[in-house]
Amino acid sequence: MTSSSSTPSPAPLGRLTARGRDEVHRVASPLELFFDLCFVVAIAQAGVQLVHAVAESHAGEGILNYAMVFFAIWWAWMNFSWFASAYDNDDVLYRVVTLVQIAGVLVLAAGVSKAFEDHDFLLGWLGYVIMRLAMSTQWLRVARSSEGPERTTALRYAGGVLLCQVGWLGLFLPEGLRPWVFLVMAILEMCVPRYAEKDFATSWHPHHISERYGLFTIIVLGETIAAATIAVKSGVDENDALGELLPIAAGGLLIIFSAWWIYFAVPIHGHLRSNKQAFLWGYGHYLIFASAAAIGAGLEVAVEQAVGKAHISTLAASAAVTLPTALYLLTVWALHSRHFKVGIAQQLVLPTTALLVILCTFLGDGAVLAAGIVSALAVATGVTLTARTATREGKETAPVV
């Protein structure tokens, strides 16, 4: 959360030097919150296109396009967030360059529908050009303000970012080659930080990074609630189908509430002690963010199927909700919860819940409600097991689920 004190006026221009990793009261800035909120546009556009693809029985193509587009959204957010954690000096030039990056995000969002429908990546690529030129400018500022291994790291980042952007021109090759270009370029993109920091680790702040990821998770879950609520409202207004939609609405709400509780049950910043742990944790969040957003798209699909607008079976509509929910549960367990478990019973709560949620797919019209109840029971079970462990050990512990 941000500080309650007023934000001081920024210096016109300062050296872009590293902030301390042990800095106290390191919290997200208003500019970072603004940056995150602008990503809602892109996430919403990706969700809408996924709904259309699944509802029209093009799930395979839709999921592939969604995975590619969401990677672009997530990676742009990642590049900024980790840099800001280490080097945010909040001077005028830093703010201006960040606002330029936000403009690039909005251009990327404007190109999402064309990427899905026409496989036209021009706007998305141009959005990335804007963001990448801004990002490389920031790294060059770091290089100018530093020396030795830190300067080398900054120059590697700047060069790697620009070279990868050139590589993304492969998206304009014949359509059949584009998924392979995407796969190769995604791997190369994720290799840039590992290469850049092999001799010098940037001073990202563990508490700040964990807060930034938590805030983005809240934004994604918020977008999920908004999309599902609008879908239910439209279904009721246009089809007078409250009886059919009420179980979906209740189940969806339980799933989203449980998703929030499960993610924030543990203070993960203490686990981010090294670059190796941080890279695995940070990269793994692609699945958390993408699956959380896909839950909202799945709920929209379930609503459209219930009112007869989607040309798919009840089984397929249920799977659109239960499969991303199960993926979310498993990924949060792998990245967060398992590090805080005490005993086999606690370790099995989320994996077992994920399996039960998948089995709910086959329950027909009650699948979403059943998945929501199972998710809520997982939270209750986790809290109960943690309380019992704390009682036996005579101490208080976090409500791990």
pLDDT in tens, the chain (401 residues): 444 344 556 656 667 888 887 888 788 899 999 999 888 888 988 988 999 889 888 888 889 889 999 999 999 999 999 999 999 888 899 999 999 999 999 999 998 888 888 888 899 999 999 999 999 999 999 999 888 999 999 999 999 999 999 999 998 888 888 889 999 999 999 999 999 998 898 888 888 888 999 999 999 999 889 888 888 888 777 777 777 888 999 999 999 999 999 998 877 776 777 667 788 888 999 999 999 999 999 999 999 898 888 889 999 999 999 999 999 999 998 887 776 666 687 778 889 999 999 999 999 989 999 999 999 998 888 777 766 665 665 555 555 56
Instruction: Report domain extents, the chain.
Output: 30-196, 206-393
DSSP secondary structure string for all residues of 213-273: HHHHHHHHHHHHHHHHHHHHHHHHHHH--HHHHHHHHHHHHHHHHHHHHHHTTS-GGGG--
Contact 334, 350 (CB under 8 A): no
Residue with tokens 């090759």: 173
pLDDT of residue 108: 92
Domain 206-393 belongs in CATH node 3.40.50? no
pLDDT of residue 93: 92
Going 209 to 212 to 218 to 222, the CA torsion angle's sign is: negative
pLDDT of residue 349: 84
* pTM of the predicted protein model: 0.88
